[in-house]
Amino acid sequence: MDSILVRGNGALSGAIPIAGAKNACLTLMPATLLCDEPLTLTNAPRLSDIATMTQLLQSLGAEVASLQNGLVLAMSSHDIANHIADYDIVRKMRASILVLGPMLARDGHAVVSLPGGCAIGARPVDLHLRVLEAMGAVLDLRDGYVHAKAAGGRLKGAVFEFPFVSVGATENALMAATLARGTTVLKNAAREPEIVDLARCLRKMGAEIEGEGTSTLTIQGVDRLHGATHPVVTDRIELGTYMLVPAICGGEVECIGGRLDLVGAFAEKLDAAGVSVTETDRGLKVARKNGRVTAVNVTTEPFPGFPTDLQAQMMALLCTASGVSVLEEKIFENRFMHAPELTRMGARIEVHGGHATVTGVEKLRGARVMATDLRASVSLILAGLAAEGETVVSRVYHLDRGYERVEEKLRACGAQIERIKA
């Protein structure tokens, strides 16, 4: 297992290109199962999670060609030769559950392994199953798999209100509804930019969808979809992560491809903490307004609120702020595992249930720390960039799931960072 060594090296300045969104790509890829014509994605991120989804789709009989050094994914599923999404792949990546809706909608049956939990929480899929049942799916849960059949051979439109916002369940339902008989209305649907991107891609494929970006999606089912080419939307979580580099280290960084509408609530928090975010013709330029940042309180919420996927990274910044910040994590039940690792670096953090109280310190100190999940891993890198001395982050396979070429992108801004091969 590789590690990454970071040496605090003062202010960092430069330009960082932002890649296509992992969490958009992971729902756009299963959409290929909805039709027998080619679906091509451009601006695809080059990440291990994308490789895992590629492996899963290929196991179902889809053809997935990774072109132009991984930036283009040319996919087609003339017919789905195998309708079983195997545990050995699904257990590696929860997003695998997103093949369930498309397979059910296309062929009326599917067998998908339950994903199992993960470090940040139990992360059940009950909402995915309930909305598909509302659309006429008959589900039999046995041997750790969901055995699903569409009653009468085809899903039917339904009106379904989610009891709380779920990104994945909204994505599964949205894809399934495109081929269902009749009209589907999804209420309290997720509004994330990744959902908007999926809707736009499905519309290019011939789907009839209204309301993306709002909490009510209306889909008129059609008999078949056709192929399309679609660019993956910019990754707002990678964007937010790199916006924090000048905030925590000083200096000025331009995030190429960044858009303010993708990170509204996050940018507002940065502004309140004393970090300026300026739109340029290439993206977003970020710098401290003056010296040390100040403490702010953060509560994670579904979009357009503060993203849970930026909570760990924001905590790293607030560890060095002047004053006391309270972070409330309202989406996942165990998403503060970066706190004890940051504490090893001299941070002062008290975690009580879903709240973390951070008392800022002048300087963090480098230490050996361990990545526990994807976003925790990058928060430790951020802390290491600002700390005195050396930080070694172990288990960086977590990092490689969601951030491509981290060392290269940070070195371009003057960071002293290198990968230590295991």
> Left if phi > 0, otherwise alpha if psi is -120 to 50, otherwise beta: which for 286?
beta
In 91-120, which positions are buried (b, 16+ CB within 10 angstroms) versus exposed (e)? bbbbbbbbbbbbbbbbbbbbbbbbbeeeeb
Verify binding: residue 378, ligand EPZ, rule CB under 6 A: no
Verify binding: residue 311, ligand EPZ, rule CB under 6 A: no
Verify binding: residue 387, ligand EPZ, rule CB under 6 A: no
Report the candidate in 221, 307, 192 with the shortest Cα–Cα distance to residue 34: 221
Q: How far is the CB of 336 from ligand EPZ (least distance, A)?
A: 14
**Angle at the Cα of 286 (from 370 to 14), degrees rounded to 5?**
75
Tokens, residue 174: 């949205």
**Angle at the Cα of 148 (from 145 to 152), degrees rounded to 5?**
170
Report the candidate in 139, 187, 185, 179 with the shortest Cα–Cα distance to residue 158: 185
Verify binding: residue 245, ligand EPZ, rule CB under 6 A: no
Q: Which of residues 24-43 bind ligand EPZ (CB under 6 A)?
A: 26
Of 12 and 237, nearer to ligand EPZ (C-beta) is 237
Report the candidate in 414, 233, 372, 243 with the shortest Cα–Cα distance to residue 313: 243
Among 62, 293, 331, 371, binds ligand EPZ (CB under 6 A): 331
The single residue of 25, 35, 118, 255 carrying the catalytic annotation is 118
Among 94, 154, 191, 288, binds ligand EPZ (CB under 6 A): 94
Verify binding: residue 117, ligand EPZ, rule CB under 6 A: no
CB neighbour list of residue 268: distance below 8 Å, 6 or more residues apart: none
Verify binding: residue 54, ligand EPZ, rule CB under 6 A: no
Give the number of residues in contact with ligand EPZ, rule: CB under 6 A.
22
Verify binding: residue 309, ligand EPZ, rule CB under 6 A: yes
Among 30, 101, 102, 168, binds ligand EPZ (CB under 6 A): 168
Of 20 and 402, nearer to ligand EPZ (C-beta) is 402
Active site residue 249: no
Where do contacts with ligand EPZ occur on this chain (CB under 6 A)? 23, 26, 94-95, 121, 123-128, 166-169, 308-309, 331-332, 374-375, 402
Give catalytic residues, as residue numbers: 118
